């Protein structure tokens, strides 16, 4: 009996050890991608609740991944971001303005061909949850061109050295957006009605005519009531964007294939005596030139946004992010918005202004970071974000959906023809060069000299 008992105890012990060994084996063979990890995500403008549903949907697939979202103020964002990256405490996922991608390129990680991610799945007769690692393809540059509006691929697909030996220079993906904003024309309905103007301007020729009818002067010719904030630099909201838009609409080629600024030249396909960029500069500054019929603005005026919100002007050039601000600050203002004026309505050009989600080169979780970026940019998730933020889409598949929306229809109608341009690695210097170009022209400097000086400044920021 004793021998039988001892044998039973030995057998039981062996089973326990064997079972423990199996459990240990399961733990040891659990994929590395199933370990708990945290992604830090830095953005501006949007509160964390804009991403709550997206994060919840992602964690339902990958419960081991936590996403810590941090919103920073726009005026502190770049300084804090650069300091954090230098001190190795930066975020895994970084939201960058579309103009910043190339200047941050050395700090970013391009998209890999695939990522390894773990999913929690129910398997076996006993329905036990187990971790299953899968290799997932990452969206390719070609797919970006197909799925997103054209300007996106121009900004986020950049040629670079392939990681795989022997492949040489290839297209690399550096980020994905969830929205793409465009400049539109806001207008005060009461002011237009009082002037007998039934509809807002659709062309720049109409716009000039409206400015003449809406601007008021005193007996000494002093500006009393401006029609719109345009023509100067610092007190016109996004004057850089507005002048860039005019140049591109007029046919200027902003840069060559190497990114060198060329907006002071006449493109080979145009037969004009005056370069289109120069012509656009004069057209823009005429609105702030007292000797011109369209004079309606000067540097003594408030910011163009503030002037419109206070009811001082009939028109304002702005983006979708201005809409909730106007409604909040001026709830009684009778305003609407329409497409930005065009030089040639048959060849529309609009201006793109948006943010791109990128991955830090220093992230310790590159697969999860890139997987989250592409997950958030897909149509099902992007719709959640767009509904929360009221922004126009960057995805082709969602354009028609937004066209029928009262607030977003105008913006969505412009995303397919929206453009921007490479402004070098020092965006502040480029925008400063535009300010100086405008100011010099208004001060009486030959516009041709002013535009060439701007070219020289911007060329120094190209790499």
pLDDT level of residue 165 (50, 70, 90 thresholds)? low
pLDDT tens for 307-325 read: 999 999 999 999 999 999 9
pTM, 2 dp? 0.90
- The CATH number of domain 34-177+355-398, selected from 3.40.50.10490, 3.40.190.10, 3.40.50.720, 3.30.70.360: 3.40.190.10
pLDDT of residue 9: 43
Query: Which pLDDT belongs to residue 182?
Result: 98
- 132-162 pLDDT, tens digit per residue, is 999 999 999 999 999 999 999 999 999 876 7
pLDDT tens for residues 284-312? Answer: 999 999 999 999 999 999 999 999 999 99
What three-state secondary structure class fits 71? Answer: strand
Q: CB neighbours (10 Å) of residue 440?
A: 19
**Which of 41-67 are b and which e, b meaning 16 or more Cβ less than 10 Å from the residue's Cβ?**
bbbbebeeebbeebbeebeeebebbeb
- Which residue bears the tokens 């009939």? 314
Considering the chain, what is the average pLDDT of its residues?
A: 92
Give the per-residue pLDDT at 167. Answer: 73
pLDDT tens per residue across span 84-110: 999 999 999 999 999 999 999 999 999
What are the sequence ranges of the domains in the chain? 34-177+355-398, 181-353+423-459
Q: Which two tokens stand for residue 412?
A: 């969505």
Please give the CATH number for the structural domain made up of 181-353+423-459. 3.40.190.10
pLDDT band at 199; cut points 50, 70, 90: very high
Asked if pLDDT for residue 7 goes beyond 60, the answer is no
Contact 341, 203 (CB under 8 A): yes
pLDDT of residue 161: 66
Q: What is the mean pLDDT of residues 8-31?
A: 45
Q: For residue 168, is pLDDT > 90?
A: no
pLDDT tier at 116, thresholds 50, 70, 90 = very high
Which long-range contacts does 194-201 make (Cβ < 8 Å, 24+ apart)? 195/314, 200/315, 200/336, 200/338, 201/315, 201/341
- Rounded distance between C-alpha atoms, residue 213 and residue 296, angstroms: 10
Say which residues have a Cβ less than 8 Å from residue 408's Cβ, sequence separation at least 6.
320, 386, 390, 391, 392, 402
Provide the pLDDT for residue 21: 38
> What pLDDT is attached to residue 145?
97
Same fold, 34-177+355-398 and 181-353+423-459: yes
At residue 126, the pLDDT reads 66
pLDDT in the model for residue 28 = 42
């Amino acid at each position: 009996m004793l021998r039988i008992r001892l044998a039973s105890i030995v057998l039981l012990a062996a089973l326990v050890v064997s079972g423990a060994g199996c459990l240990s084996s399961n733990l040891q063979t659990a994929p590395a991608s199933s370990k708990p990890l945290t992604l830090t995500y830095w953005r501006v403008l949007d509160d964390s609740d804009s991403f709550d549903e997206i994060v919840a949907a992602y964690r339902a697939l990958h419960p081991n991944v936590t996403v810590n979202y941090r919103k920073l103020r726009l005026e502190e964002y770049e300084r804090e971001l650069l300091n954090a990256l230098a001190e190795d405490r930066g975020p895994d996922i970084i939201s960058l303005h579309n103009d910043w991608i190339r200047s941050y390129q050395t700090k970013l990680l391009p998209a890999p061909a695939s990522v390894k991610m773990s999913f929690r799945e129910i398997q076996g007769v006993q329905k036990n949850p187990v971790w299953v690692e899968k290799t997932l393809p990452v969206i390719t540059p070609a797919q970006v061109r197909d799925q997103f509006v054209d300007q996106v691929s121009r900004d986020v697909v950049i040629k670079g050295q392939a990681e795989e030996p022997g492949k040489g220079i290839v297209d690399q993906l550096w980020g994905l957006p969830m929205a793409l904003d465009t400049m539109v024309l806001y207008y005060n309905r009461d002011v237009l009605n009082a002037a007998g103007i039934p509809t807002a301007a659709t062309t720049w020729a109409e716009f000039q005519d409206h400015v003449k009818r809406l601007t008021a002067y005193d007996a000494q010719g002093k500006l009393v009531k401006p029609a719109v904030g345009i023509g100067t630099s610092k007190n016109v909201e996004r004057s850089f964007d507005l002048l860039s838009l005019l140049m591109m609409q007029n046919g200027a080629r902003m840069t060559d294939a190497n990114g060198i600024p060329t907006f002071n030249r006449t493109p080979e396909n145009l037969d004009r005596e005056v370069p289109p960029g120069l012509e656009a500069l004069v057209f823009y500054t005429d609105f702030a030139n007292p000797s011109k019929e369209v004079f309606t603005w000067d540097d003594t005026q408030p910011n163009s946004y503030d002037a419109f919100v206070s009811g001082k002007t009939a028109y304002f050039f702005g983006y979708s992010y201005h809409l909730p601000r106007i409604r909040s600050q001026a709830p009684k203002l009778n305003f609407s918005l329409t497409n930005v004026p065009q030089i040639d309505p048959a060849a529309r050009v609009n201006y793109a202004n948006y943010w791109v989600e990128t991955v830090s080169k220093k992230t310790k979780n590159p697969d999860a970071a890139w997987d989250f970026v592409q997950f958030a940019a897909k149509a099902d998730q992007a719709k959640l974000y767009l509904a929360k933020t009221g922004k126009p889409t960057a995805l082709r598949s969602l354009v028609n959906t937004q066209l029928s929306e009262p607030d977003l229809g105008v913006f969505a109608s412009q995303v397919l023809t929206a453009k921007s341009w490479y402004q070098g690695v020092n965006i502040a210097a480029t925008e400063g060069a535009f300010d100086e170009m405008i100011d010099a022209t208004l001060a009486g400097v030959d516009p041709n000299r002013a535009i060439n000086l701007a070219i020289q400044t911007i060329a120094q920021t190209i790499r």
